[in-house]
Amino acid sequence: MKSLEQKKKEYAALLIEVGLGIKKGMELYIHAPVDVADFARLCVSAAYDAGAKDVTVVWSDDFVTREHFLRAEDEVFDTTLAWRMELLNGESRRGVPRLFIEASDPMNLAGVDPERILRNAKAKGRDLAEFYRLETTSFFPWCIASVPIESWAARVFPDASDKIERLWDAILSAVRVEGKGDAVARWREHLATLKARTDKLNAYRFRYLRYENALGTRLTVELPEGHLWQSGEETTPAGHPFVANMPTEEIFTSPLKTGVNGIVYAAMPLVEDGNVIRDFHFVIREGKIVEVHAREGEEILKNAIAVDEGACYLGEVALIAYDSPIRRQNILFYETLFDENASCHLAFGAAYPCIEGGAEMSEEELAAHGLNVSTQHTDFMIGTADLSVTGITEDGKEIAVMKDGNFCF
């Protein structure tokens, strides 16, 4: 059996080679918490091995973030510092690739004034709008990945004596790293499977999707004319391939903003701004979330859909097989990157430009085609072992897309 250190090196190389496709002469920004400096350094070395021109690491820290929200002067939550705007907006405009290593305590902001969190989110949405637009239109290569830290591992495995090791095992399994040196090949095969299903969904040109399960979900989602299903590997306008999320199991598109109706129940808890939201459901009429109900965290959820006008509309529908490698582990990761890939999910907030010609459209043009515009984008999981998804074509023909939580093709 290969050592954990060897697997970490293979994982880092996978992120650089497949996640970002770093080639000779390219620059790279790595965003990482100080707690995972050892893994960030492996990624730096892997990037230079791949021929990177220069690699810059932007560090973050849970303690500093929490102290900021608890103790900073009130006025700072309505603005974004100029250097951060230039780092995100300006450097993204240049097309510089970014690796985001997510590793934080899911409960880090528990107890923070929700109003401060909301104001900060609104300021970021306003001041970093260019960065979010360039990211969602795949203007530059970007990849989100994750590695364990003590506080996060303690949430996932509270009773285990080997928390970090178990979380490493779970993450490496989710990203198909076994230490055999074949992770890149396995990912190429996985991406090809996702593409084959994506092509089939695009060929159907569904007008509606209908979701049903025993939790009580009864939801009809209208899809915009010219919608496109996407998955796994994405491509920049310059033709550079990358994988935005590692792991990824999803095939996704954007709904018609005003075309979603019914009730939808979450199948898993949602971690939002350091708080866990449990047992929640939405009532949606003409695309808008008009009722929010949660056993725990209802106020946080209501704030999340109030960030801006588009936050209370849906922006994504994603299909994921219930028997995915992540779901089979039967672990709540308390991290959306993993939890969203364990289950079919929806997102409230911004729509990805999943429409013919969408990458070249302005926000106004996307809105005119029926896609939602927002600075928010929050995934929540709805997939269950009995979920059925039926596609309805323009002429009313019904085709089974998913049955008992898994694809019918």
CATH code for the domain in which residue 51 is found: 3.40.1830.10
Query: What pLDDT score does 324 carry?
Result: 86
| Contact residues for 343 (Cβ-Cβ < 8 A; gap 6+) | 267, 268, 320, 322, 327, 381, 382, 383, 384
Is the same domain home to 177 and 223? Answer: no
Is the same domain home to 347 and 231? Answer: yes
Tell me whether residue 23 is in a domain: yes
Tell me whether residue 192 is in a domain: no
Helix or strand (DSSP H, E) at 345: strand 345-349
Query: What pLDDT score does 325 carry?
Result: 85
Tell me whether residue 224 is in a domain: yes
Quote the CA–CA distance of 4 and 39 in Å, as a whole number: 12
Is the same domain home to 173 and 261? Answer: no
Helix or strand (DSSP H, E) at 298: helix 298-304
Quote the CA–CA distance of 212 and 215 in Å, as a whole number: 8
Is the same domain home to 102 and 226? Answer: no
Helices marked H in 74-217: 82-85, 91-93, 114-127, 129-136, 150-156, 163-174, 183-204
Is the same domain home to 117 and 229? Answer: no
Tell me whether residue 197 is in a domain: no
Tell me whether residue 163 is in a domain: yes
What DSSP string runs through 205-259? --SEEEEE-TTS-EEEEEPPTTB--EESEEE-TT--EEESBSS---EEE---TT-
Tell me whether residue 81 is in a domain: yes
Quote the CA–CA distance of 37 and 158 in Å, as a whole number: 24
Helix or strand (DSSP H, E) at 399: strand 398-403
Is the same domain home to 139 and 222? Answer: no
DSSP letter assigned to residue 352? P
Tell me whether residue 24 is in a domain: yes
What are the CA-CA distances from residue 77 to residues 59, 68, 111, 302 (Å)? Answer: 20, 10, 17, 19
* CA-wise closest residue to 313 among 281, 350, 280: 350
Domain count, the chain: 2
Range of the domain at 231: 203-235+242-407
Query: What pLDDT score does 2 carry?
Result: 66
Is the same domain home to 158 and 230? Answer: no
Is the same domain home to 276 and 376? Answer: yes
Is the same domain home to 210 and 356? Answer: yes
Is the same domain home to 372 and 256? Answer: yes
Is the same domain home to 254 and 398? Answer: yes
pLDDT tens digits, residue range 325-376?
Answer: 898 898 989 888 999 899 899 999 999 999 999 988 998 999 999 999 998 9
Helix or strand (DSSP H, E) at 292: strand 288-296
Query: What pLDDT score does 149 carry?
Result: 95
Tell me whether residue 227 is in a domain: yes
**In the chain, which stretches have pLDDT less than 50?**
1
Is the same domain home to 219 and 167? Answer: no
